[in-house]
Amino acid sequence: MKNVRPMLSLLLMFSGYVANSRDNTPYASVEPTLIAVVNRASWCQVCKANGDRAGAVLMSYTDKGLRVFINDLTDTASVKASEAALRKAHLYDAVYTSPRKGLALIMQHCGLLKSNGQRPVPTGIITFIDPRSHKRLKQVSIAIPDKEMKADIETMLK
């Protein structure tokens, strides 16, 4: 019994060291050249049908400079947590702001339309964002074919 305690403590120390060393992966040190924010929810049928496939495509580009954020829209608590994370990363406006166009832009300038630009965000959407300017580059559905998603990502990574 006396030999078990030191062995157990060594095992615990070693496992803590291994767990902490995983935080220093090359992914963490790679400066992102593109950010993808995935809007998902557990109740979304598009997410259920395409989430794993689209996630695999996105994750295959993380070593090439793609940083992936999940915007969980499942319930009020997850929306608040995701909003806080997106605001901390300065990505909230790129995901939630919809620029006015055409007649809406004219009405906004005349003071006939509020200029907050906020709108609900649908699930099953990936928003690609430039990490330097934090501007939205493109939004795509997670239901698009892998080939199309890969072509879009590769174009934006250049």
pLDDT digits (tens, 9 = 90+) for 96-117: 876 555 555 555 555 555 544 4
- Of the CA atoms within 13 Å of residue 41, those in its CB half-sphere come to 15
Question: Which structural domain, as residue segments, surrounds residue 88?
Answer: 27-157
For residue 39, count other CB atoms closer than 10 A to its CB.
Answer: 22
pLDDT digits (tens, 9 = 90+) for 21-45: 333 344 445 688 999 999 999 999 9
Residue 19: inside a domain, yes or no?
A: no
For residue 99, count other CB atoms closer than 10 A to its CB.
Answer: 8
Angstrom distance (rounded) from CA 4 to CA 65: 45
**8 A C-beta contact, residue 34 and residue 157:** yes
The structural domain count of the chain equals 1
pTM as predicted: 0.70
Q: What is the CATH number of the domain that holds 134?
A: 3.40.30.10
